[in-house]
Amino acid sequence: MTDVLTFGEALVTLRAEQSIRNGGSLRMSVAGAEVNVAIGLARLGHDVRWVGCTSRDEFGALVLRTLRAENVDVRHAALADGPTGLVVFEPRIADLTRVSYRRSGSAGSRLAPTHVEASSDARPRVVHLTGITAALGPGPLGAVRAAAEAATASGATLCLDVNHRAKLWSREEAAAALRPLMGHVDILVASDDELALAAPGGTTEDERVEALLEAGVREVVVKRGADGAQVFGVSGASVARPALSVPVKDTVGAGDAFVAGYLSALLDGEPVERRLERGVALGAFAVASQGDWEGLPVRDELGLLDAAPGSAIR
């Protein structure tokens, strides 16, 4: 049995050292919301399978090589027409980053329901999906729907991170696609301004959370950035944890790291308080490091944030 099965697009990332118009070097890596979560979970020792379409180009080879090196199962990754999508991160001021995409017609956008069917042998405990994949076109949206239905049919826990990207689709388009999925979702993850895209009703946060729980969602996890995160459950109670204070180097990927930490603790059978604590811990690792996932910990490093600043590990 696989711990976590996730579907999505893998991108090659290019990180600039300074403003693009000023030139300079670019550092290359791999990312994508589901890829980041998969790597974060695999580093903590979980059995994770990523399913997506990769290009036949050298960037596609880099994607597969990176995921294999991070112990992510890619046996059902498919080769598809189109280039590998690119994302460029450009530092502007302080920790503000400008993000540009080159993903139109990418191999990753060829994901379809047939790819979900091909991975039916995984028997996952958790299926993780995001609104980013749903926004990539009819095929990926169909794959998200098929994965949600398959999770319900198999008894797997379905986690959906809204992860709205305004450059991919409007809020109206996102709401029309995501709200019908709520009958399948067990854990909904959203920032406070994304709740309206998933909630079938309500105008305030409390009303939207209540509408989601009434629709069948078991846990509503609200990411609050620098203020931490909060979980609302069917019992009516909520639990919150503040973000950890760390030097901020790069905020990109923090939300995905949080999800990886939350799901890791869920798989370990931890209560919601411990899930939140591991989630905010991985979020802190992410923002204190350069890159989407490169600074995420292996399991025996989870306590590193408790060390005194300037400590040497000997």
Positions marked catalytic: 256
- Measured from the Cβ of residue 57, the count of other Cβ atoms closer than 10 Å reads 14
Question: Residues in the chain, how many?
Answer: 314
Q: Which of 113, 145, 132 is nearest to 189 (CA)?
A: 132
DSSP of 43-73, one letter per residue? HTT--EEEE-EEESSHHHHHHHHHHHHTT-B
Indicate the SS3 state at residue 183. Answer: coil
Token pair, residue 114, equals 């047939």
In sequence order, what are the residues at sequence separation of 6 or more whose Cβ sits closer than 8 angstroms to the Cβ of residue 82?
Answer: 55, 105, 106, 107, 108, 109, 110
Contact of 168 with 135, CB cutoff 8 Å: yes
Distances in Å between the Cα of 242 and the Cα atoms of 273, 280, 297 are: 11, 8, 20
Contact of 91 with 54, CB cutoff 8 Å: no
- Measured from the Cβ of residue 241, the count of other Cβ atoms closer than 10 Å reads 21
Residue with tokens 């990332």: 13
In sequence order, what are the residues at sequence separation of 6 or more whose Cβ sits closer than 8 angstroms to the Cβ of residue 310?
Answer: none
